[in-house]
Amino acid sequence: MKFYKVVLAAFLGTLIALLIAFFIKIGVITSLISSMSNTEATATKVKPHSILHMKLDYPISDRTSENQFGAIDFTSMEKRDLSGMNDILRNIENAASDPNIDGIYLNLSSVPTSSATLQEIRDKLLFFKESGKFIVSYGELYSQSAYYLASVSDKIFMNPDGMVDIHGMASQIIFYKHLMEKLGVEMQIIRGPNNKFKSAVEPYFLDKMSDANREQMNQLIGSVWGQILASISQSRNISVEQLNRIADSLGTYFDAKKAVEYGLVDQLYYKDQVIDELKQMTASDDKLNLIGNSNYKKSYTIDESGSQQVAIIYASGTIIDGKAPEGTIGSETLSKTIRKAREDEKVKAIVLRVNSPGGSALASSVIGREVELASAQKPVIVSMGNYAASGGYWISACSDYIFANANTLTGSIGVFGTIPNLKTLLNEKIGLTFDVAKTNANADFGSINKPLTEFQLAKLQQSVVRTYNDFTSMVARNRNLRQSYVDSIGQGRVWSGSDALQRGLVDKLGGLEDAIAYAAEKAGITDSYTVVEMPKQKDFMTSLMEEITGRREDEVQSTIQKELGIYYPYYQGLKSVSEATGIQARMPFDIIIE
């Protein structure tokens, strides 16, 4: 009896402790939300001689998330500023005409964001400079991404013990061939006859780049690097040749004085000296009035109530079939949003913001059809972000007009199919065997415990060839090109935005705001219109229930990325191995300026 009493007491004690912890968590979350809600409800008042303070040390999404939990660091219980590119661009534009904002302070070290997003923010900072207000940058050190942004500044300061990390760009691909052999896994790959540049499947059967892939990668990173150097050269009055010599020699690596000597940095300052400099520039004898992105956004209003609207529809992430969570593109989810904008009489034009490496070919086709239907009723303009490749290009090509940044990764017109064969792994490594009873010859088609038959491989090959033909035919029809020409620049090849422009895959170089202005012009509403963002983001209660029942997938990914740091791409690569089954229209890589 004593034993059962002890067990019962322990059980009740644990249960009570768990309940107390649960209610404490609810109380903390409720308190945080209440605090933030009150803050959100109160407009921020910008003091005279304020400085817009930008610290962009996080992966910048196209759109600021309205999920308030995502901005909370639960280890420190502090709210982080994770403003998306939409709010960053609006803030910079508003600050240019705000009489209470004297300038912008870029507090930079590393900006872990793809090159096209960086270019769009940088172009907006150049617009800000036309107002005559200052931009000042400070970094304890500057990664290439951070320096690319900082180079627009009137003054660039750096810690005396810091460095400017300019070393050039490289593309490193992970190959799984030998790992698969060790595990006893065979990735059965089906490619079309004209997909020599479709390198997404190469890591499964090669241990180094093919000549075709090396050719496209050299041209791609050469194009992006050339654009970056040209921008820095123009802003800092340093020749491209000199910048390349600095990169080749690692001339400013661990040598802050060299960064000043070469003209990359204006002065070596500690943080307190930078603050003193900013005080002088704002004629402030007391505390600096610094205001961050998330707070500055609350100092002005955005009108979305007009009768003439341009709708921005965000299409970000991998393309999958059916409904999809935030951070991915579901064929059903995105089609519903496009349909809603098409049927809304107040929406006079649509801007489809595509930031996707592709994914399911079927889902891409479903979305493409909805884009074509919308295009038949009102202007549909695409704004390409960091990448709009493969399936991302599929849905883009169905529009009326395409804007891309010079550093956008696009094209990758090609398809492939993969089905893993785990027979050796299951039989010999683990010791599992299988037997089957079936009614028809191919009733067990798609089973992963045995290889495909020649007949099944042939059927899949026919499907891949047909899908590729549908892809090139659709591009040729919508882009007014010959299908044979589309095939010649397709074959899975990825192009930079500037190279894609020369080949007729995009219409003009420009960012999201250029696409919005063009959409309004095509709709004949250039005088007065409002911009609305779609789809509608999740409300407070939905986010609350997701936090209580378990962390959202995108938050888990964010945590994994933070913990793995520079090793995160290896995790992503391994994850893609498990996901790449069926017929795919997917780009295998992204370019981030380290």
| 3-class secondary structure, 242 | helix
Task: Judge whether 279 counts as a catalytic residue.
Answer: no
User: How far apart (Å, rounded) are the C-alpha atoms in residues 513 and 380?
Assistant: 14
Tokens standing for residue 282? 């704002």
Instruction: Based on the residue annotation, tell me whether 198 is a catalytic residue of this protein.
Output: yes
Q: In whole angstroms, how far apart are CA 364 and each of 37, 162, 322, 470? A: 38, 46, 11, 12
- Is 567 in contact with 398 (CB distance < 8 Å)? no
User: Which one from 231, 335, 390, 543 is the annotated catalytic residue?
Assistant: 390
Contacts of 84 (CB under 8 A, 6+ apart): 60, 61, 62, 63, 64, 65
Q: Distance (Å, rounded) from C-alpha 88 to C-alpha 533?
A: 15
Locate 410 and state its tokens.
Answer: 């696009």
Residue 174 CB neighbour total at 10 angstroms = 14
Of residues 578, 365, 570, the one with CA closest to residue 470 = 365
Query: Do 365 and 336 meet the contact criterion of CB atoms below 8 Å apart?
Result: no
How distant is the alpha carbon of residue 542 from its chain centre?
Answer: 24
**Catalytic option among 124, 196, 198, 297:** 198
DSSP letter string over 280-319?
HHTT-SS---EEEHHHHHTTS------SSEEEEEEEES-E
Q: From CA 545, how far away is CA 139, in angstroms rounded?
A: 39
d(CA 156, CA 175): 40
Tell me the C-alpha distance between 291 and 101, whole Å: 9
Burial, 166: exposed, middle or buried (Cβ in 10 Å; 0-12, 13-18, 19+)?
buried
416 CA to centre of own chain: 23
Structural Rg of the chain based on CA atoms = 26
User: For residue 467, which phi and psi values (nearest 5 degrees)?
Assistant: -65, -40
Residues linked to residue 389 through DSSP beta bridges, in sequence order: 411
**Alpha carbons 85 and 64: distance in angstroms, whole number:** 7
Amino acid sitting at position 452: L
- 362 and 322 Cβ atoms separated by less than 8 Å: no
Q: How far is CA 394 from CA 61, 337, 375, 411, 547, in A?
A: 22, 18, 15, 9, 35
Q: Please state, in angstroms and rounded to a whole number, the distance separating the CA atoms of residues 260 and 163.
A: 10
CA nearest to 139, candidates 269, 233, 287: 269
Helices 115-129 and 85-97, interaxial angle, to 10°? 10
Structure tokens at 535: 């789809």
Catalytic residue ranges = 198, 390
